Structure 1
Amino acid sequence: MVAESTEVRLDSEFAPLRTVVVSRCEFRAPAGAAILGHSMPVEAGAAEILEAVWGKDFGAVHPEKQAAWEAEREELAAVLTRHGVEVLRPRLFNDVEKAAAGDTGYANFFVRDPWFTVGEHVVEGVLQFPHRRREILPSRQLLLDRVLPSAAHYVSLPQPEIAPLGAPGAGPFLEGGDVLVLGAEVFVGCSGMATDELGYRWLAKYLKPFGFTVTRVELPPHVLHLDCAISLVRDGLMISCPARLPAGLPAALRDWEQIEVSEDEAAAMATNGLPIDPGTYITDPQFERVGKELEARGITVEYIDFSVSRLFGGAFRCSTQPLLRAG
């Protein structure tokens, strides 16, 4: 059994992973597309599958895919455990929370986004899609149990103002999928679909007194998060999609070696793999080309079929949230 850690810290995207939270698989779609305010980001070919679930529980409509989805997450947890990583899981939504969601629906499927860790700081963010606004709740007790007893700071963004359904409102919005950490430099993606300018400014102001530099990275409006465009594999090596970086890479990353992927590969989540440490990387067999590029550079690649998770516009990074990445 992996020893329980009371330390909470994230040094970088590729520092050795010690403690991580792996997502659950709950999704009830909003009652209609108008509630979203944006088109739901999904892998190409997934629209027909998700079209049948408006206002319904995904597992009730697609029980075989629900079982496969849960099996994907269990396999991910097993691979991480085999590598000596302590794996934690959020709880499931309770009946009261499901009822309170109403027509907006609910999601408890990508733990990367409702909260995140930067250095010794744990931040509860605010999600822009209405059906994801309560996604922090299944992680709350876990955070109280692990973060409060630690030396880490634990803060939350201001709540956004109330807006009509289908309108995102004024924010602030800040989502963990947009936040990449490289020591004292933090990159924050802004596409308008998730993190907004106010969320970026809030994080920059909060972290500045602690010695962090927060750099804004422009994303096209169809790209949900920064981790759908960049993956930092190890110091000096990244996977990137130039088509999703209209202003180019941040200055701190421009000298790094890049394994480039196309827009189609990125849309299928080729940049959403997960480093276990600087020498080990998890990705989907769909991206064997990328895996071979990594192996040619001395990286050990673990392959897990994540085809159901990718239907929802996320993969391995989206499905995990580190509490300890250090050393």
Structure 2
Amino acid sequence: MLKLNIKNETSRLRAVILGTAESSGPVPKVEDCYDPKSIEHVLAGDYPKEADMILEMEAVAQVFEKYDVTVFRPQVIKDCNQIFSRDIAFVIEDKVIRANILPDREKEIEAIRYVWNQIDRKNRIILPEECHVEGGDVIPWNEYIFIGTYSGEDYPELITARTNIDAVIAIQELFPDKIVKSFELRKSDTNAKENALHLDCCFQPIGKGKAIIHKNGFLIEREYEWLVDFFGKENIFEITKDEMYNMNCNIFSISEDIIISEKNFTRLNTWLRQEGFTVEEVPYAEIGKQEGLLRCSTMPLIRD
């Protein structure tokens, strides 16, 4: 049996699901893309190649091995993009919550069924159908659960709006002792630089009481201000629109002071090292073309 334990983003990682790029399928048609950034690269003719993405994910697997983290991988489904394991489920405390995701991604859940089956049945949560949520929008932070959402009237038309208010309410009911704080995110199906696909695309808490944030990802300025006040301005690394587009928020903490980051994030990685973090740099720019990066492709199961 797996004893799940996730209270925050930074306690020492012991077990994780890392997605896979194997058999990720042909270049999608524009109309089959889930986000504006993928569309951009399909149209530009430089959509990432499977072989490159496999190498990138292998680099992350090696970092996990170095730090003695148990790694589960999804079973490979032919011609299916299974990179972003955070989308399909997420863990808070000792519970795994299955994401109600875009319907044509159901089979991705089946590929991690063997992990799901190792979890105590009472801790496997499937939310009601009307609750839409993806793991990238959910950030457990000790007594808080931060959730990115979108409640505009055009929610049903937006493929980039992934988490609704129903899900926020359901999670609050599941964890009555936590303070659930939701944030309205800026959405665009057509302009990747104006689109915060998930909360972890424009905000991420890291160790030592620090956080990375992009102001324009938030629709309501006072919600952004709340986070700045919560962490303290001196502890915040503000990223630019281009850095958000390149997924600088979407790094991944192995512990309070060890972070996996993309090797091209020069400004961020320099700051992290100045602040005393160990930065494990990996190549992940090809995967980044699909509007997801390190946090999106990892789903932590156990932290100390």
Tell me the TM-score normalized by structure 2: 0.85
Task: Tell me how far 1:133 sits from its aligned partner.
Answer: 3.4
AA aligned opposite 1:121: K
Matches within 5 A, 1:61-210: 65-93=49-77, 106-128=80-102, 130-145=103-118, 147-148=119-120, 153-159=123-129, 171-191=130-150, 192=155, 193-208=161-176
Task: Tell me how far 1:46 sits from its aligned partner.
Answer: 2.1
Cα separation, partners in 2 of 1:235 and 1:205, compared to 1, 3 Å = farther
Where 1:80 maps in the other structure, the secondary structure is: helix
- State the Cα deviation string for residues 222-281 of structure 1 (Å, max 9, x = none): 221000011111142011111112323374652311101011111111000001101111
Cα separation, partners in 2 of 1:250 and 1:196, compared to 1, 3 Å = farther
Runs of 5+ unmatched residues, structure 1: 53-61, 99-105, 160-170
Runs of 5+ unmatched residues, structure 2: 156-160, 188-194
Question: 1:113 touches 1:177 (CA, 8 Å); kept in 2?
Answer: yes
Residue 214 in structure 1 maps to residue 180 in structure 2? yes
Task: Tell me how far 1:8 sits from its aligned partner.
Answer: 1.0
Question: 1:112 touches 1:320 (CA, 8 Å); kept in 2?
Answer: yes
In 2, the alpha carbon distance for the partners of 1:46 and 1:279 equals 34
Cα separation, partners in 2 of 1:33 and 1:47, compared to 1, 3 Å = closer
Where 1:236 maps in the other structure, the secondary structure is: coil
Residues paired across the two proteins, number: 282
Cα separation, partners in 2 of 1:306 and 1:44, compared to 1, 3 Å = farther
In 2, the alpha carbon distance for the partners of 1:285 and 1:49 equals 23
Question: 1:30 touches 1:131 (CA, 8 Å); kept in 2?
Answer: no
Task: Tell me how far 1:120 sits from its aligned partner.
Answer: 1.2
| Aligned pair partner of 2:35 in 40, 64, 73 | 40
Residue 245 in structure 1 maps to residue 240 in structure 2? no
- Specify the alignment match of 1:270 in structure 2: 248
In 1, the alpha carbon distance for the partners of 2:37 and 2:106 equals 19
Where 2:3 maps in the other structure, the secondary structure is: coil
Residue 304 in structure 1 maps to residue 277 in structure 2? no
In 1, the alpha carbon distance for the partners of 2:72 and 2:61 equals 9
Question: 2:59 touches 2:283 (CA, 8 Å); kept in 1?
Answer: no
Task: Tell me how far 1:47 sits from its aligned partner.
Answer: 3.6
Task: Tell me how far 1:282 sits from its aligned partner.
Answer: 0.9
Cα separation, partners in 2 of 1:48 and 1:140, compared to 1, 3 Å = same
Question: 1:43 touches 1:268 (CA, 8 Å); kept in 2?
Answer: no
Residue 23 in structure 1 maps to residue 19 in structure 2? yes
| 291-300 vs 253-262, which moves further | 253-262
In 1, the alpha carbon distance for the partners of 2:44 and 2:32 equals 19
- State the Cα deviation string for residues 43-100 of structure 1 (Å, max 9, x = none): 6952435798xxxxxxxxx7xx211101111110111110121111111126xxx7xx
- Specify the alignment match of 2:158 in structure 1: none
Question: 1:44 touches 1:267 (CA, 8 Å); kept in 2?
Answer: no
Where 1:249 maps in the other structure, the secondary structure is: helix
Task: Tell me how far 1:308 sits from its aligned partner.
Answer: 1.4
Tell me the TM-score normalized by structure 1: 0.79
In 1, the alpha carbon distance for the partners of 2:274 and 2:28 equals 47
Residue 224 in structure 1 maps to residue 219 in structure 2? no
Task: Tell me how far 1:11 sits from its aligned partner.
Answer: 1.6
In 2, the alpha carbon distance for the partners of 1:31 and 1:71 equals 20
Question: 1:217 touches 1:250 (CA, 8 Å); kept in 2?
Answer: no
In 1, the alpha carbon distance for the partners of 2:17 and 2:112 equals 9
- State the Cα deviation string for residues 138-177 of structure 1 (Å, max 9, x = none): 11111112x138xx71111223xxxxxxxxxxx4211000
